[in-house]
Amino acid sequence: MKKYKSTRGSLLIKVAIFAFSCGFLLALLHGEIFGVDKLIRRAEAQISDLGYGIEVYRIKKGKYPKNLIDLTIPDKRGNILITIIPCDPWGNQYLYKRSHTQFDIISLGADGKSGGEGQNTDIKYSEIPK
């Protein structure tokens, strides 16, 4: 029976393949992690813009809008606060909750369900640093 000896060249190839595989996996994970962060930042920016529109509406009309669509209705001069209400980065509608004294805008994250972590975390206007 013949025994095959490992040569330096074959060991170098094995190490190179291993290093490439590790680098590829790290690149995939890196893209996944930072891709999620990018979507969360986009949701926060959209929620902040909507919140600004709601604050301006309250200043002009003395009350909070009944729903987000009210921000798209022109005033007597034809001015519109927001031309379109976007969906969150995961394609879901933003939730709008209000009382007489406060409001909140919420994205339920990637899973569209209340609660969660990572990409499934809820993003709330009331929790975004101003």
Output the average pLDDT for the chain. 85
**Is 38 within a domain?**
yes
| Residue 24 structural domain | 8-127
Checking if the pLDDT of 14 tops 90, the result is no
pLDDT at 118: 87
**Is 1 within a domain?**
no
**Is 2 within a domain?**
no
**Is 22 within a domain?**
yes
Total domain count for the chain? 1
**Is 3 within a domain?**
no
**Cα–Cα distance between 90 and 71 in angstroms, integer?**
22
* Residue owning tokens 């406060």: 102
**Is 24 within a domain?**
yes
pLDDT tier, 36 (very low <50, low <70, confident <90, very high otherwise): confident
**Cα–Cα distance between 130 and 124 in angstroms, integer?**
12
pLDDT at 3: 61
Checking if the pLDDT of 22 tops 80, the result is no
User: Distances in Å between the alpha carbon of 18 and those of 14, 83, 88, 101?
Assistant: 6, 52, 39, 60
Long-range contacts of 99-108 (CB under 8 A, 24+ apart): 100/63, 100/64, 102/126, 103/51, 103/54, 103/64, 105/47, 105/50, 105/51, 105/54, 105/68, 106/47, 107/43, 107/47
**Is 122 within a domain?**
yes
pLDDT tier, 18 (very low <50, low <70, confident <90, very high otherwise): low
pLDDT at 130: 81
Q: What is the CATH classification number for the domain harbouring 38?
A: 3.30.700.10
102: tokens are 């406060």
Which one, of 130, 64, 120, 71, lies nearest residue 97 by Cα? 64
For 83-126, the pLDDT digits (tens) are: 999 999 999 999 999 999 999 999 999 999 999 998 899 999 99
